[in-house]
Structure 1
Amino acid sequence: MLGWDVKDQLYDNAQYTGWHSGYPDAPVRILPHTCREIPFENGMLLFLAEFDQQAEAVCPRGTLRRVIQRCQDMGFEPFAALEYEFFMFDETPESARAKGFRDLKPFTPDWFGYSMIRNSVHAELYHQILEMGEAMDFPIEGLHTETGPGVLEAAIAYDHAEAAADKGALFKTFMKVLAQRNGLMATFMAKWSGKYPGQSGHIHVSLRDRKTDKSAFYDPSQAHNMSKLQRHFLAGQQRLMPEFLCMVAPTLNSYRRLIPGFWAPTDATWGVENRTAALRVIPGSDKSQRQEYRLGAADGNPFLALSVAIGSGLYGVMQEWEPTDPVSGNAYAVKHPEELALPRTLWDAAQRLKGSQAGREMFGDAFVEHFAASREWEEREYRRHVSDWELDRYFEII
């Protein structure tokens, strides 16, 4: 599992496992506290597990756990909440493939963001989704239509960071299961069609002091209620965003989403209640002061996305960095310093991670080397492919 890609093709550039090692078994550690019942399988129990021993170094959940441990060692408890947008189709795995994933029929037509009509007409499915979330311990605080035909957004209730990542992974998996059990399909691709906005996977993050249980981000005496620690945390997220991008945007398709004007960031910017920025500070109270990592997309691995959102912030605290001035208004219309520009391709993003000293400090050399190599493989596989766009553009005229 650690030596092949999403299409079961074996990596030829990974050091952890491969032909050179004979693909040995990797031990896993079952996590009893993650036990859940699968509601539509007669109470079948489900447990999550982590890779153990040497494999732990490249395990996404293990990577997040190490970041959380560092956070706790610094005196803070990280909390998080994940939001996912996903498109639903009136298709099956067979029909979608028969159509070549083209001209798919959306679950609902037209642009009906936040529509009470769609919610009410399809109330039975909405209730199934909400009830599944309750039964499997990933309660959904909000479920509504978003911008585009057949697109929904689910906001999962906040929790300790490790549990929040577990809930994100379970939601993505079982949302697809539930859709197919209803004769539908759900996709969490970052951008399944050039006609519509991309699909986000925004991350809300906050820290609480482990001794006092007070918010480490909240200081009502400061602008926007931002404590000094929150400023350092924000600065770490901002400065390291270009270096850690491929952990949050892990596919070729991820970079189709990161274009101006479609509610996705193109530079490592921040603003106060500004949804055009990559980082949105949300002023609040001791219980609600937080920031939103808006770079995240629906295609991200929740364990790695949270590792980045928390780990980069902690690094900023360790270095006592300060963020740039906040962006007011349209962040896309402002020219930003070159060092805030995000890599434009998966290959470039993988090179930034490989060369990141901060990444190696926070996630470990073994993880950085393995994950960057897997992203390089993904880019190389893409380059072997001849697209419909190329055929249409060049076949006759060249």
Structure 2
Amino acid sequence: MSAMKTRDIKTAEDAKRIVEERGLSHVKVGFFDIDGVMVGKYMQQKKFLSALEDGFAFCDVVLGWDSKDELYDNVQFTGWHTGYPDAPLRIIPDSCREIPFEGDMLLFMAEFEGEAEKICPRGLLRRILERGAKLGYDVSGSLEYEFFMFQETPESVREKGYRNLKSLTPDMMGYSMIRSSVHSELYHELISLSETMDFPIESLHTETGPGVLEAAIAVDDALAAADKGALFKTFVKIWAQRRGLMATFMAKWSPDCPGQSGHVHLSLKDHESGKSAFFDADKPYTMSDVQRHFVAGQQKLMPEFLAMFAPTINSYTRLIPGFWAPTEATWGVENRTTALRVIPGTDKSQRVEYRLGSADANPYLVMAAAIGAGLYGIEQKLEPDEQIKGNAYTVDHPEHQALPQTLWESAQRLKASKPARKLFGDEFVEHFAATREWEEREFRKHITDWELNRYFEII
């Protein structure tokens, strides 16, 4: 019998066989927290094989602290008041992947069960997709990310106070053949990594900015697409650091450079026929009634769901006119100045691009919010506002298209959103909104360079 390949793994029995075939003493298991940060550990083979059948437990503090391991003081799910107990997780057999720089080591993903599943990002997306399935639709998606590369290390950036960092390459050279050819070894390594770890890159090129790249990940069903996006962000950072470099997915790392986006492309298929639910050859822009309602839902709920697309303090420094980031809840056809870009095509390519998200957002939450809002539009048969033709930044917009300007405001809008509670559940909305309020409060404890420069002497 030939040796199993990771992409052949579908069941717990398959997973058991490949681990035993390779004679692994330990297996790597990881999952994603509320901020989209991957956590996990090496698990002894015997324990892993047991966990395949019965699950395993992990301290629920990973759902009760922020991206700096600071404990939330305002969430109900876990905390000192609960004693930070273990929460159950299940291993996802078909998530098996090679880790090319760890010999025969295998990586498996996991997700929370029980009460923790109500706030688990991957679990949330799965529930949204089940909602779509009940409506008769299968959802496909893909993510594309911009990220800056630096000739720095975790030690050097701290020594420099994150100032005067040396970018991988200088100057603004979007789509540069020079840059991608001079550094072709890097590009080839990243492409190879993406193929081996099953988050294949469809296109890779420089973007406008010193050392910035953009990668479009190949389309897949929406849950797998979110897995690919989350793993891509994690392992790009790992790959870069192993090469003595650093990659950042901050929404905006410098006031002198454009921000970094995390766009998502979505399409729906009719489950029975397998045909596009978005494509109608007889309608303007080949845009079906279903796609129109889907876009309308996304547009209507964008201000209420913004915290899921712009989850950090830094996210809001990107949402300014003239830097390729949308500033209102707008839509247009093949218009990159709007928040929603309808892309006409064929039965295979008709889709919508949700352009609001920044690279720092959790892929599972971005997908859940973008799809959930669209399904809500279909359910309610909503109609979009008039599309924007031309420059969306120069158009006077109705008040309801305005987006929250701060993370705190976004958290309040999410908390007050009845559609959010209907789609995502009270437990998730309360928990996530509280984590964003915490993030804002943590920021308020600090004095920025701007404040010192502006007020220290003159006021």
Please point out which of 249, 265, 268 is paired with 1:207: 268
CA distance in 2 between counterparts of 1:374 and 1:297 reads 18
1:30-179 mapped onto 2 (5 Å cutoff): 30-179=91-240
- Secondary structure of 1:30 counterpart: strand
> Cα distance, 1:284 vs. partner?
0.1
> Cα distance, 1:296 vs. partner?
1.1
1:144-293 mapped onto 2 (5 Å cutoff): 144-293=205-354
CA distance in 1 between counterparts of 2:364 and 2:147 reads 19
Q: How many residues are matched?
A: 398
1:326-341 mapped onto 2 (5 Å cutoff): 326-341=387-402
For residue 335 of structure 1, what is the amino acid of its counterpart?
D
CA distance in 1 between counterparts of 2:63 and 2:199 reads 26
Deviation string, structure 1 residues 225-257 (Cα, Å, up to 9, x no partner): 000000000000000000000011000000000
- Secondary structure of 1:220 counterpart: coil
Aligned residues: CA RMSD: 0.5
In structure 1, the residue matched to 2:87 is 26
> Cα distance, 1:43 vs. partner?
2.2
CA distance in 2 between counterparts of 1:160 and 1:139 reads 14
Deviation string, structure 1 residues 183-231 (Cα, Å, up to 9, x no partner): 1000000000110110000000000000000000000100000000000
Whether 1:360 aligns to 2:425 is no
- Secondary structure of 2:268 counterpart: strand
Deviation string, structure 1 residues 16-48 (Cα, Å, up to 9, x no partner): 000111111111111001000101110211011
**What is the TM-score with the length of structure 2 in the denominator?**
0.86
- Secondary structure of 1:309 counterpart: helix
In structure 2, the residue matched to 1:306 is 367
For residue 153 of structure 1, what is the amino acid of its counterpart?
E
1:383-398 mapped onto 2 (5 Å cutoff): 383-398=444-459
CA distance in 1 between counterparts of 2:327 and 2:240 reads 32
CA distance in 1 between counterparts of 2:347 and 2:87 reads 43
Whether 1:372 aligns to 2:433 is yes
Unaligned ranges ≥5, structure 2 = 1-61
CA distance in 2 between counterparts of 1:365 and 1:103 reads 44
- Secondary structure of 1:88 counterpart: strand
- Secondary structure of 1:308 counterpart: helix
Runs of 4+ in 1 over 6 A off after TM superposition: none
CA distance in 2 between counterparts of 1:340 and 1:391 reads 35
CA distance in 2 between counterparts of 1:256 and 1:167 reads 27
CA distance in 1 between counterparts of 2:90 and 2:134 reads 23
For residue 237 of structure 1, what is the amino acid of its counterpart?
Q
- Secondary structure of 2:269 counterpart: strand
Whether 1:13 aligns to 2:70 is no
CA distance in 2 between counterparts of 1:43 and 1:344 reads 48
- Secondary structure of 2:192 counterpart: helix
> Cα distance, 1:274 vs. partner?
0.2
CA distance in 1 between counterparts of 2:88 and 2:206 reads 41
CA distance in 2 between counterparts of 1:397 and 1:344 reads 28
> Cα distance, 1:390 vs. partner?
0.7
**What is the TM-score with the length of structure 1 in the denominator?**
1.00
For residue 344 of structure 1, what is the amino acid of its counterpart?
Q
What is the percentage of aligned positions where both structures have the same residue?
A: 69
For residue 55 of structure 1, what is the amino acid of its counterpart?
A
Larger radius of gyration: 2
CA distance in 2 between counterparts of 1:130 and 1:350 reads 37
Unaligned ranges ≥5, structure 1 = none
- Secondary structure of 2:191 counterpart: helix
CA distance in 1 between counterparts of 2:449 and 2:315 reads 19
CA distance in 1 between counterparts of 2:348 and 2:143 reads 17
CA distance in 1 between counterparts of 2:380 and 2:145 reads 32
CA distance in 2 between counterparts of 1:260 and 1:146 reads 18
CA distance in 2 between counterparts of 1:34 and 1:186 reads 24
Please point out which of 442, 448, 458 is paired with 1:381: 442
CA distance in 2 between counterparts of 1:362 and 1:270 reads 22
- Secondary structure of 2:97 counterpart: strand
CA distance in 1 between counterparts of 2:449 and 2:342 reads 41
Deviation string, structure 1 residues 144-190 (Cα, Å, up to 9, x no partner): 00000000000000000000000000000000011011110000000
